[in-house]
Amino acid sequence: MLPGSGPDTPVVTAMRARELGRKSVVVGDRVGLVGDTSGAPGALARIVRIAERTSVLRRTADDDETTAEGRLERVVVANADQLVIVSALADPPPRTGFIDRCLVAAYDAGIEPLLCLTKADLAGPEAVLGYYTELELPYVLIRPDSDLAALRALLAGRVSVLVGHSGVGKSTLVNRLVPEAERAVGTVSAIGRGRHTSTSAVALRLPVEPGAGGDTGWIVDTPGVRSFGLAHVSAESLLHGFPDLVEATVDCPANCPHTADEAECALDAWVAAGKADARRLASYRRLLASRSGEGDPREPERNPGDPLAGS
Ligand SMILES: Nc1nc2c(ncn2[C@@H]2O[C@H](COP(=O)(O)OP(=O)(O)OP(=O)(O)O)[C@@H](O)[C@H]2O)c(=O)[nH]1
Ligand SMILES: [Mg+2]
């Protein structure tokens, strides 16, 4: 981004300078440029410096840090302020286990979560919202004809990154927010067969709305992910994705692993007293188990109660 850049700033094409070595530039990075920054056709600048990142959103291919996949860590985006967790209400069906993982990643990275429920024309949000009653999780509902003013207000002045399974409607939403983006959109029939319509992450500046001033913010569209691995998050930090449970653990014995077989774990009594949803505790424990390689590898992000695929 150029100093004092605004909607009329030219788009500069730049290459990473050799002296940066293998340190890679990711979407969202603020960089120092030298060379031709005019943005004229054929002009090429060089990236010579990557500014310190205010946040780094990561995911791993797998949860288990003892496997090669678990160690394969990807930086999704740098400097994001808001993680927009995009979940369709149907086609593909919502996965609360996936949303829970995104919440863990967001809290771990110090990024605020926003739940974005798309395809509200196909199914109601009651089941998903009911699951999150104890959390003060902000959310928006999107249908093809919905007014996006509330969403635009939540995006203003921030860098927001969209994450979600393939086919949930991320690029469709980006095209509505930034009409000139012309992001390709896919058909849902290809989901689950390894087809992803978007193949790389792209940051786009949100347009200025008539009558509104100030910084409109940026939105980052990302390729759909099959799963959101959390091998990089410590067992202790996993709990930060469950603020509805964390308070209970002051009554746990020292070094309590919080697993179901730990008789003294205070989380069971907390749920029994109605202070949190039993399904959230079960989801947390599924995540703990998955990290130690004990989870169900077929559908790790489907919690009991989530709709079956195809329904
Ligand atoms: N009924 C309905 N269909 C929608 C809605 N939003 C998107 N779709 C459809 O869902 C399909 C997939 O949308 P995309 O925007 O390509 O999904 P994506 O999340 O970008 O997918 P990847 O790029 O593969 O990650 C398209 O056929 C869209 O027309 C919605 O609100 N309602
Ligand atoms: Mg897409």
Question: How many Å lie between the centroid of ligand 1 and the Cα of residue 245?
Answer: 33
Structure tokens at 44: 């090429």
Q: What is the residue whose two structure tokens read 């340190």?
A: 23
Residues 6+ apart with CB under 8 A from 263: none
Task: Tell me how far apart the alpha carbons of residues 254 and 274 are, in angstroms, rounded to a whole number.
Answer: 24
Structure tokens at 77: 């985006």
Backbone Cα Rg of the chain: 21
Structure tokens at 249: 């653990």
Tens-level pLDDT at each residue, the chain (311 residues): 455 566 677 788 888 888 887 668 899 999 999 999 888 888 999 999 999 999 999 988 777 667 776 667 788 899 999 999 999 999 999 999 999 999 999 999 999 999 999 999 999 999 999 999 988 899 999 999 999 999 999 999 999 999 999 999 999 999 999 988 877 777 665 445 556 677 788 999 998 876 666 788 999 999 888 888 888 888 889 999 999 999 999 999 999 999 999 999 999 999 999 999 999 999 999 999 887 766 655 566 888 888 876 54
Question: How many Å lie between the centroid of ligand 2 and the Cα of residue 173?
Answer: 9
Question: How many Å lie between the centroid of ligand 1 and the Cα of residue 159?
Answer: 22
188 lines ligand 1 (CB under 6 A): yes
Question: How many Å lie between the centroid of ligand 1 and the Cα of residue 37?
Answer: 36
Name the pTM for this structure: 0.90
Q: Which helix (H) or strand (E) holds 281?
A: helix 278-291
Question: How many Å lie between the centroid of ligand 1 and the Cα of residue 204?
Answer: 18
CA-proximal residue: ligand 1, atom 5 (nearest): 119
Structure tokens at 165: 């399974």
186 lines ligand 1 (CB under 6 A): yes
CA-proximal residue: ligand 1, atom 14 (nearest): 169
Task: Tell me how far apart the alpha carbons of residues 144 and 230 are, in angstroms, rounded to a whole number.
Answer: 32
Task: Tell me how far apart the alpha carbons of residues 228 and 205 are, in angstroms, rounded to a whole number.
Answer: 26
Residues 6+ apart with CB under 8 A from 36: 43, 44, 45
Closest to 162 (Cα-Cα) out of 208, 126, 202: 202
- Altogether, the residues listed in the chain come to a count of 311
Phi and psi, residue 46, nearest 5°: -120, 140
302 lines ligand 1 (CB under 6 A): no
181 lines ligand 1 (CB under 6 A): no
Residue 144 near residue 135, CB atoms below 8 Å:
no
Ligand nearest the Cα of residue 123 is 1
The sign one gets for the Cα dihedral 59, 100, 120, 150 is negative
Structure tokens at 192: 């689950």
Q: Which helix (H) or strand (E) holds 139?
A: strand 139-141
Q: Which of 84, 140, 161, 172 to mutate to test the pocket of ligand 1 (most atoms within 8 A of CB)?
A: 172
